[in-house]
Amino acid sequence: MRPVILERRRTKDLSRLALARFANKAQRAAGLSGEVNILLTGDSEMQRLNLQFRHKDKPTDVLSFPAAQPSEGGDIAISIGTARAQAAEIGHDLLTEVKVLILHGMLHLTGHDHEVDRGQMSRLEQKLRTELKLPAGLIERKVPSRSATRSPTRSPSARAGRRL
């Protein structure tokens, strides 16, 4: 199945086709089957989702909502506002930053968690970024004002309860 891009935050800086093509490559590279939906939204909705699922009352760059079984797919939400700010801080364009966030989110959908593993996700993300020709990923970055990406939960109920 091909990833579906849902835009609540349209921007002329992003090609929906380019994102869909990249998401398809990233999904295959991550070994993720099943349906993947990617929501492009703003900071206020991301803050609401972050509060609802992670109990953190602040916006974040990307959230992943895995399906009941790792590798079956799931949903990814990306804040265009935060992605734009991070792209400016790092010195690349918005499309590149959104691609980095998509890859990171895809790895969370497969069950990886850089907060508890021993560097496995970081090593895999680095390998896939090289294959997909992307710059430094979220795990290596030291951006003090931004929180690292996390999956809100890995339980089947989160998938049913999400509002993307």
Q: DSSP letters along 62-123, please?
A: EEEEE-SSTTSEEEEEEEHHHHHHHHHHHTS-HHHHHHHHHHHHHHHHTT--TTTSSSHHHH
Is 154 within the bounds of a domain? no
117 part of a folded domain: yes
Specify the number of domains making up the chain: 1
Q: Which domain holds residue 30?
A: 4-143
Q: What pLDDT band is residue 135 in, cutting at 50, 70 and 90?
A: confident
CATH assignment of the domain containing 134? 3.40.390.30
The model carries a pTM of 0.82
Q: Note whether residue 38 is domain-resident.
A: yes
Say if 93 falls within a structural domain: yes
Is residue 152 assigned to a domain?
no
For the cut 60, the answer to whether the pLDDT of residue 153 exceeds it is: no
Does residue 150 lie within any of the structural domains?
A: no
**Any domain includes 102:** yes
